[in-house]
A and B are shown apart, each in its own frame.
Chain A
Amino acid sequence: MKSDITIITGTDGKMLVDINMQIGNSCDTTAALALALLRAFGVACGAVETPPRIPESQQQDERLKGSQS
C-alpha cells in the first residue's frame, strides 16, 4: 500500500487534509507536523478534524465478519 497526503484548498482558504498512511507510519504525528508547518507559513490558523475513516474494502470485510458470527 502506498501512502498519500492530500490537501484540498477552497477559494476561501479553508483546507481539508486527507492522510492515508502505510502501516508503521503515524497519521497523528504526520498531521501534527503538517499543521505546524502550515501555521508557520501563516496559512492555517486552526484545523477541523474529521473522524478516522475506514476504507470501503475493509468496511465490507467488517460486514462479512459480522454476518458470520
Chain B
Amino acid sequence: MSRHYLVLTQKTLGASRVDMEALALELAKVNPAQAAVLRSLDFVALKKHAAKKAFDDAVRMLGIEGAAQYVNSDQWDTVSGVPEGADVIGVFKKGSVQLGICIDAHGSLASFANRYHHDNSDRAAWEEAFETQYRNHAVAMTLSIVAPGGGTVTQETLPDGVTVTQLRF
C-alpha cells in the first residue's frame, strides 16, 4: 500500500506585503494632496476587482475551467487549501488539478493549492497567465486613478507579449 502525501501551499503574488502608510508618507514628501488620495483608496477592494477581472481573462485564455470554490478530495482526506481568513477570487481547474487565487488575511494577493510532493502539473503556467493579466489590469487602473480630471485609457498586447497601456488626457 502506498501513501500519498499532500502539502498545502500558498504563495504571495507580486510584492509580498505592502505597507500602505509607509507608501503614503513617502508620497507626502512630494505631494501631500496625492498622499491623501492614496490614503482614501480601499486597496483590498481595488485589488479584488483587478484580480477578478484577471482571473476571468486568464481562464478564457487558458481554455480551462474556472470555479468559485476549491474542492477538497474525499479520497485522500485532504483539508481545505484555502488560507485562513482568505477571500477566494476563483479556482483554476483542469480535471483534479486545482489552483486557487485569493486575497489573504493580510490583504495580499496569493495563490494556493494542495500539491503532491512531486508536482509537475500546469499550475505554474496558470499562475503566470494570471499574474500577467493582473499586472495589466493593475496598470490600467493605476492610470485611471492618476489622470487629473479623467481621460481615456487604452491597452494593447503586441504579438511579442509586450503590453502598452496609455492614458491620454
Query: Hey, which chain B residues are within 8 Å of A47, CB to CB?
Result: none
Contact of A40 among B38, B146, B161, B168 (CB under 8 A): B38
Q: Within the complex, what minimum Cβ distance (angstroms) separates A47 from chain B?
A: 12
Tell me the minimal C-beta distance from A15 to chain B in angstroms: 7
Main secondary structure of the interface of A (DSSP, over half): mixed
Q: A7-B143, A28-B30 are in contact. Are A40 and B20 (CB under 8 A)?
A: yes
Number of interface residues of B (CB under 8 A): 45
A48 at the B interface (CB under 8 A): no
Binding site for B on A (CB under 8 A): 2-11, 13, 15, 25-26, 28-30, 32-34, 36-45
Which residues of B sit under 8 angstroms from A11, Cβ to Cβ? 132, 160-162
Query: Does B9 touch A at the CB level, under 8 Å?
Result: no
How far apart sit A10 and B18, CA to CA, in the bound complex (Å)? Answer: 23
- Say yes or no: B18 contacts A9, CB within 8 Å: no
B contact set with A: CB distance below 8 Å: 13-15, 18, 20, 23-24, 26-27, 30-31, 34, 37-38, 41, 43, 46-47, 50, 108-109, 131-132, 134-136, 138-139, 141-143, 145-148, 160-169
In the complex, 11 of the A-B residue pairs with CB atoms within 8 angstroms, ordered by the A residue number, are A4-B167, A7-B142, A7-B166, A9-B136, A33-B31, A36-B23, A36-B38, A40-B41, A40-B43, A41-B141, A42-B109
A9 and B164 CA atoms in complex are apart in Å by 6
Evaluate contact between A43 and B146: CB separation under 8 angstroms. no
| Structural contact, A9 and B135, CB atoms closer than 8 A | yes
Q: Are B139 and A6 in contact (CB under 8 A)?
A: no
**Are B27 and A33 closer than 8 Å at their CB atoms?**
yes
List A contacts of B27 (CB < 8 A). 32-33, 36
- Chain B residues with CB below 8 A from A4, complex form: 166-169
Pair A7/B50 contact, Cβ less than 8 Å = no
Residues of chain A contacted by B145 (CB below 8 angstroms): 33, 37
